[in-house]
Chain A
């Protein structure tokens, strides 16, 4: 029988490293997605995701289960990513390289060249538009997009109210729609 997140956390707190490995295997892709959405650079996102799990391991004894494990780990991930973004103002062109790689793979199976070009333009411009948002606005869009999280959970992760989540999400979507109107 598969153990719940909380049961695994309790095992970790008792010093079971295998239980932590199981938690990492459950959440590494999701955590990576959140961080990639904020940083737009694969290498940076990978580094921050690994650091996130390392910090989670160090803090896991103090985790009381007041919130769910995924809320807790996302909170650490978002804080790390926002810190990293503020510390390192990397070249945003790195992100375009990553996107191009995905497009190349998709073009092999695509049938409609016109749609491909249109999608490519949309993605390129979307990356720029998202990159221009503040970290806080990016975070709400990313958390909502990846997990379809409720405003309550997003607020818990970001340490703000549901009303703030709602207004940030509204603002971020409006900005993105304005900037991408020609491609949508």
Chain B
């Protein structure tokens, strides 16, 4: 990036007074001696003066009395309760509150789920259990579910046992 490119990137912040004193002085002295960067500065100033001039011209034609009359009419007017409610809800939905609302909603849902599963008569109606049995290097896991009288049986190999076999194989050394 050339020096002019870097300066032109900073002209906006310089005009806004948002640069540090040392950077500001560097931009000012460069612009004073560089016609291209001077032109870039004038372009930016022209945009703001033209746009601001238009807005100020429009606003200067705005009369206060009719403006206030209409605001006053709205204040005095009775609005339907739905509009009031909607406005109140909108005003309550601020960013910090929304940030809290997500974990709060999760806790609430989990609470409701736990409550629904909690037995009324002291006994779980939909009880499920998992058992694991080791049978000589092979594992058996049972899932029993009372309500539907379902039993699921898993058979799987013990991964530690496999590792032991691998270790034994490596101990004997590589086979060439």
Contact = CB atoms under 8 A, between A and B. Distances in A.
A102 B15 CA distance: 28
A141 B44 CA distance: 11
A180 interface: yes
Interface string B56-72: 11111010100110111
A125 to B, nearest CB: 10
B50 A126 contact: yes
Contacts, number: 102
Contacts of B54: 99, 102, 123
A105 to B, nearest CB: 8
A151 interface: yes
A58 interface: yes
Contact of A28 (B44, B51, B62): B62
B82 interface: no
A50 B67 contact: yes
Given A25-B68, A126-B50, A102 B58 contact: yes
A118 to B, nearest CB: 11
A69 interface: no
Contacts of A177: 40, 43-44, 47
A159 B70 CA distance: 29
Contacts of B51: 37, 126, 130, 141, 145
Of B40, B47, B57, B68, which is in contact with the most chain A CB atoms at under 10 Å from its CB?
B47
B40 to A, nearest CB: 8
Interface of B: 9, 12-13, 16-18, 40, 42-44, 46-48, 50-52, 54-60, 62, 64, 67-68, 70-72, 74-75, 87, 91, 95
